[in-house]
Amino acid sequence: MRQTLAYSFNISAPVLFSRAGKFEALDENWIHSYSKLEDYELIIVTQNKLYIKYQDVKYTVNKGEYLLLAPSNKKTNDSEKNRIRKGFQKSKCSFYWMHFNCHDVSPRNTLNLDHINDGRENILLPVYSKLIIPEKVLLLMVRLQDSVRAGYSTSYTNLLSTLILSEIANQHLLQYENESQLVNHGSRQLFNEISGYIIHEIHKPLKVSDIARQFNYNEKYLSKLFKQFSGMSLKQYILNQKITQADFLLVDSTISVSEISLRLGFSSYHSFERSYVNFRSMTPTAYRQMFAGKITNYS
């Protein structure tokens, strides 16, 4: 049997949310427990590395990467063994997790979307991959936890869980399309290179002039390029990425707003707050208070 590389989920109806939370290891001696998996599990690592073994495969999941584990077929003779997941190495890691079920799922042995001819109602998720912008997915995970705490209906949590999977599938689609293009594909390739550079250097006070100098292009040309591919100018794109990073730091950490502004390369706290209010129509502190607690149980 060929190895399953991805799963095709039919989302004509929302997936069925089970539970979700965030886990933080207390010290370097933590190792994933020996436990059964009864439904689908999505894990997104936010700190260090997670070492987990499932169905005789050892996974090392790094920060910014996710792992999708599927329940085994309970009708098979070895189903009991195949439902066990356990750690194989110690690590002081942290990760968000979500359990869910779906009525119509098909295993795939290819990551090529051209071979997934299931129509618009299906999304493809690799078993293991790096996220282009993990903060987008993690913010949805935080909102899912908040909706559980607030007692929202199952219809809402099912829809939000489906949105999380769809965001991951969309990031995979973008990444696959980018990697499938020729290296010298012109404008699209340049856009991809600069966007990756911005994410990597997000902690710096990035300016359009600096990026134009770095890539040896005219500032107006680069702004027009980003308008074409992202719908916003290069200056707006840089700020949008910084605000997205700030959103996650506000809900996932307890570091001060002033420290966040420094980490993201703003000249001052007031400059950061002004930019944040322009994007989110609320202060960073108000945004943080919206997601004051997190569910930290894990099973």
The pLDDT tens digits of the residues spanning 234-273 come to 999 999 999 999 999 999 889 999 999 999 999 999 999 9
pTM: 0.81
Q: Which pLDDT does position 76 carry in this prediction?
A: 47
Mean pLDDT over each residue of the chain, to the nearest integer: 88
Contact status, residue 267 vs residue 275, Cβ threshold 8 Å: no
All residues at 6 or more sequence positions from 9 whose CB lies less than 8 Å from its CB, including other chains: 15, 102, 104, 105, 122, 123, 124, 125, 165, 169
Contact status, residue 287 vs residue 280, Cβ threshold 8 Å: yes
SS3 (DSSP) at 157: helix
Q: Which pLDDT does position 293 carry in this prediction?
A: 62
Contact status, residue 160 vs residue 117, Cβ threshold 8 Å: no
Q: What average pLDDT does range 120-140 have in this prediction?
A: 91
**Percent of the chain beyond pLDDT 70?**
88
Q: Tell me the CATH number for domain 6-180.
A: 2.60.120.10
SS3 breakdown of the chain: % helix, strand, coil, rounded to 5?
A: 45, 20, 35
Check pLDDT > 60 for residue 75: no
Check pLDDT > 60 for residue 168: yes
Q: What average pLDDT does range 8-24 have in this prediction?
A: 95
Q: Which pLDDT does position 4 carry in this prediction?
A: 82
Q: Where are the domains of the chain?
A: 6-180, 187-290
187-290: CATH class? mainly alpha
More confident residue, 198 or 113: 198
User: Residue 274: pLDDT band by 50, 70, 90 thresholds?
Assistant: very high
